[in-house]
Structures are given as structure tokens and as C-alpha cells.
Amino acid sequence: MPKTPLERLRRHAIARTFFAPTTLPRAIARLGFVQADPIRAPARAQDLTLRQRVADYRAGDLERRYPRLAIEEDFFVNYGFVPRSLHHLMHPRTPRTVWPKSRWKQAQAVLEFVRERGVVHPRDVDAEFAHGKTTNWFGGSSNASTQLLDGMHYRGLLRVARREGGIRLYAAREATPPSDDPRAVHDALLDVVVAKYAPLPLATLGMLVSRLGIGVPQWRGERAAVLKRARARLAHERIDGVDWFWPAGERLKRGEPEQHVRLLAPFDPLVWDRRRFELFWGWAYRFEAYTPAPKRQLGYYALPLLWRDEVIGWANASLAEGRLRTEFGYVAGRAPREAAFRRELDAEVERLRSFLVPR
């Protein structure tokens, strides 16, 4: 049994996020939201997250099956995949950036073009309208049509119909009527976030309320009220000077941790909150893909390594010609000496290899 209240909370976090592997639609519904990231090292973050929760999941299954699933690509607290029922709650969306009439005229012309074609590739729009080039957010050059399509998608005029080679193809989206009870909708959206990342410290709860403004910018002015209501209705406990929150009515799971090794995505719900990570495991995990190579301590795409209920290190993995190569690092400086750990680590590496092999 857990020795301290914080250990009990940590075990609950692990037990509730690693539910029994299920189908892809059920796993997405259970998670509420799957964060996406384009880096593949050795696979995209969304695939690495889902492989821990979907039976017989292979890298790329989400993208392959996306057109047949009741899900949407969109912004929530981050960019990713959400059930269509949740997607509708975020719209109609009113971005903070106001488009001038000239931009709206461009958007309406593109929207008519998309409706005529059904599904369009960005290059089709660029060829039809020749919007030219523009400076993107990191200082480079990109097609103006791509930026316009991104803006139309965010405003709910378009939806992602599917991807080809990682490129988003768009279709027209039917408008969503405004909610009759925005307060209830805002609370419901936050409850989805809490259910995914709980139990979470108060500082993280406040940060997530702010990040929800990405998905519903029209309600940014309601952040303080939303947080106040959340603190009143959610289950909570103060441990070692930190206030923790989780869904109302949810009982903390008890019992011994699973004797498993798991290699996690950098954005897996268990490790996403770096603040909680340090409180739970006493060391700082960092995502270093955008850190200059000489300054990296863990590696380009270090996967946190969970053994039982402890994140004891990390791994960097790559697949070449069907062979999976892994390099491990450990907080303690060496791997556990238990035979059970070695056996479970070998099993997890084999699961990762099978997940990476195309169907």
C-alpha cells in the first residue's frame, strides 16, 4: 500500500490513465482529447499515446482511420484530436485576431471553392487563387493560402477531412449555433481537461483554464469565474502545502502498482504536466527536441520510462530497416538490477518495435 498521501495520489494518476486497452474510438472518448505533434522519433506523439491504450495499435492507425471516426482535428488546450461532440461545444469560435473585410472576402471565395470541390488540398487553393507568399510565425516563408486555410479552420469554416503525406486536406464545415448556456459549456470543457490530467495541482488547474482559451477564445473573460466554480465543485485535497484536484465523486484507486515497464510519449497525460512530474518523481523531465544539441541532457526525443509507479529514466529510440535501436538513461545512474525489470523492459521494447512496423 502507498506509504504517503502523495504516493497514493501518484498511484491513482497512473491507474486512472492506463485503463484496459480498448478500441480506438473508445480510447479517444475516454481520453477526451489526444494531443498531436508532427515529430516522428520514433513515432508521432499521438500514436505513442494511443499505443498504451488501444489494443493492437500500430503507428499511423489514427491518421488512416480518421475519416471514418467521429473525431475532428482542432485546437483545444493544445492542437490535436477531439470527439466531434466536444468539437461542437467550442464553436462558433471568435478569435482574438479580427480579420479585415479584404481577408473575409478571400475566405468566402475559398469557402465557395471548397464547397464546389468537396475536399481540397492546399496546393489546389494556391493554384486557383495565387495568394502568393507570406512570412510565417518563425520567420520563414510559406504560401499565403496555407495560412488562410489555417485561419478558416480555426474559425470553424473548414474541417480537416483527412491527411495525405501529413498534409491536411479540407472540407467545408457546417456552422454550429451558439450555446444557450455558455457557462455550462465552459464548465463541461474544463471537466474534460481535468478528467484527462487529474489529479492535478492548483497551479496546473489555473494554467489549463487559461489554455482552454485556445479552444474557446470567445470566453477568455470568464477565466476567473470558471476557475472559481471548478475549485468549488471538484474533489480536492491539500498535501504537503499543495492543493490537488480531480473529478468530483471520483474515489482514489488503491492497491499495488502494475509490474510493467512503459515507454511514454513526451506528451502522454501522465507526464504532460512538468510541474506535477517533479512533485511525483522528484526530478525534472524536459522535452529537448527544440533545444540545441550541445545543451541536451536527455536527448532529442526522450521517452519517459515508467517502471511500476516510478519514472526512473528515459529512452531514445529509432527504427532503421526494421531494427529498433534504443538508448537508455537512468536517474539513479544505472538500471534496476531486478530480473523482473529486465524482463519487462525487453517486453516493452518488443511492443514498441511491433507498434512501429507497418501493417
Does any domain span residue 192? no
Choose one of 172, 193, 212: the last residue of a domain.
Answer: 172
Predicted confidence at residue 358, as pLDDT, reads 78
From residue 203, alpha-carbon distances to 27, 60, 75, 176, 255 in Å are 27, 34, 22, 33, 28
Q: Which three cell numbers stand for residue 275?
A: 510541474
Q: Which three cell numbers stand for residue 119?
A: 475536399
Q: Quick: pLDDT tens for 89-139.
A: 999 999 999 999 999 999 999 999 999 999 999 999 999 987 555 544 444
Element (H, E) at 317: strand 310-320
Q: Are 280 and 200 in contact (CB under 8 A)?
A: no
Predicted confidence at residue 97, as pLDDT, reads 92
Predicted confidence at residue 136, as pLDDT, reads 46
Predicted confidence at residue 303, as pLDDT, reads 98
Choose one of 172, 191, 222: the last residue of a domain.
Answer: 172
Does 144 score more than 90 pLDDT? no
Q: Are 194 and 234 in contact (CB under 8 A)?
A: yes
Does any domain span residue 329? yes
Choose one of 157, 172, 187: the last residue of a domain.
Answer: 172
CA 60, CA 165: separation in Å to the nearest integer?
11
CA 299, CA 293: separation in Å to the nearest integer?
8
Return the closest-CA partner of residue 152 out of 122, 179, 186, 189.
122
Q: Which percentage of the chain shows pLDDT scores above 90? A: 89
Q: Quick: pLDDT tens for 19-70.
A: 999 999 999 999 999 999 999 999 999 999 999 999 999 999 999 999 999 9
Predicted confidence at residue 137, as pLDDT, reads 44
Residue 149: CATH number of its domain = 1.10.10.10
Does any domain span residue 120? yes
Which pLDDT band, with edges at 50, 70 and 90, does 331 fall under?
A: very high
CA 205, CA 193: separation in Å to the nearest integer?
9
Does 357 score more than 50 pLDDT? yes
Q: Which three cell numbers stand for residue 5?
A: 498521501
Which pLDDT band, with edges at 50, 70 and 90, does 283 fall under?
A: very high
Predicted confidence at residue 322, as pLDDT, reads 77
Does any domain span residue 83? no
CB burial class (10 A; 0-12, 13-18, 19+) of residue 211? middle
Q: Which percentage of the chain shows pLDDT scores above 70? A: 96
User: What is the tally of structural domains in the chain?
Assistant: 2
Does any domain span residue 117? yes
Does any domain span residue 310? yes
Residue that is written with C-alpha cell 491504450 in the block? 53
Does any domain span residue 68? no
- Give me the domain span that covers residue 167: 101-172
pTM: 0.94
